[in-house]
Amino acid sequence: MNATPPAASFVAPGGAPLSAGSAGQVPPPPAPREPVAQAAGRSLGRLAARVLPPLVAVGLFLGLWQIAAAGHADGLPAPSAIWTDSSDIILHPFFDHGGVDKGLFWHVASSLSRVGVGFGLASAVGIGLGVLVGSSVWAHRGLDPIFQVLRTIPPLAWLPLSLAAFKEAQPSALFVIFITSIWPIIINTAVGVRNIPPDYVNVGRVLRLSPLEFFLKILLPSAAPYIFTGLRIGVGMAWLAIIASEMLLGGVGVGFFIWDQYNSSRISDIIVALVWVGMVGFALDRLVAFAGVLVSRGSAAS
C-alpha cells in the first residue's frame, strides 16, 4: 500500500513555511508608500490654498487703499502713512509707563478681562434660562416676549442705567456686557432644547435619569450646536459692547484708547487699534467655535 506523499511546503519571503493548501491565501504585498517629497508637496499645496487667497485679498485691499488715499492728505491716512505715524505702537505693544500710558497689548488685555467676566456670567445665566424656556411651555409664553423686547435695546442705552445703579465704572461695564450678550444665548439654547428628538427624551425617562444626568448625557450633546451658535454671537456682541462702553467710561481699555487717540487727532493710531480689535474678535469667535466642536463632537457650526 502506497503511503500518501506529504503535502508540499513552501517558504514565504519572510521565512515562515506555507503549505500548498494555503499558498493561495498569501497576503498581497503592501502598497508602496507615497514619497516624502510628494506628500510634503501635497501638504504645502493645501496650505497655500488656504493662506494665499486671504493674503492676495488683503494685498489688493491695501494697494487700492494706498492709491485712493495718496491724493487726499486731509482724509484717512494711507497704509504707508500709518506705518510712518504709528510704527512705535505697532512694534512696541508691551510698554507700560504707568496710568493709561500703556501699549495696545495691555489695553486689549484689560478689555478682555472685563469681557471674560461679563460673558462668563451671561453664558451661565443664559444657558440656564434657555433650558427653562425651551423645556417649559409656560416659561416660554411668559418670558419670551420680554426677552424679545429687551434684546432690541442698544448696548449703550443700558450704560446710564447701569451707572445710576452701580455708581462705578467697572461694574457698569460688566453689566453692559452681560445684558448685551445674554439674549442670543437664551434664544439659541431654547431653540436647541425644543429641537431635541422626542426619542431621546423618552430614553431618558425609561432610564430614569436624574435632571443632571439628563442635562449632561442627552440635552447638552443634542442642543450643543444651537448653544454654541448663541455663544459665538454672544461673545461677538460682548466684544462690541465693551469697546463702546469703554469710550465713555474711561480707564485702561482699548475703547478708551481709541477715544483718547481721537481727541488727540491721531487717526493712524485709531486704525492700528481697530486692527487689534478685529483680530481679537476673530480669535474669540474661533475659540468658542473650537470649544463647540469639542463638546458636540464636530456637529457644531464652525
Q: Residues 250-273: what's their mean pLDDT?
A: 89
Q: Is the pLDDT of residue 29 over 80?
A: no
Give the pLDDT of residue 28.
63
Instruction: Report d(CA 222, CA 148) in Å as an integer.
Output: 24
- For cell 500710558, what's the residue? 101
Q: Is the pLDDT of residue 265 over 90?
A: no
Give the pLDDT of residue 186.
95
Instruction: Report d(CA 55, CA 90) in Å as an integer.
Output: 20
Torsion angles phi and psi, residue 265, rounded to 5:
60, 35
The per-residue pLDDT for range 125-161, each reduced to its tens digit, is 999 999 999 988 898 899 989 998 999 998 888 988 9
pTM: 0.78
- For residue 222, give the nearest of 264, 244, 194, 203 by alpha carbon: 194
Torsion angles phi and psi, residue 207, rounded to 5:
-80, -5
What is the average pLDDT value for the chain, to the nearest integer? Answer: 83
Q: Residues 192-220: what's their mean pLDDT?
A: 84
Give the pLDDT of residue 70.
77
Q: Residues 223-241: what's their mean pLDDT?
A: 93
Q: Residues 211-239: what's their mean pLDDT?
A: 89
Q: Is the pLDDT of residue 16 over 60?
A: no
Choice among 9-18, 134-143, 229-238 with the minimum mean pLDDT: 9-18
- For cell 462668563, what's the residue? 120
Q: Residues 54-64: what's their mean pLDDT?
A: 87
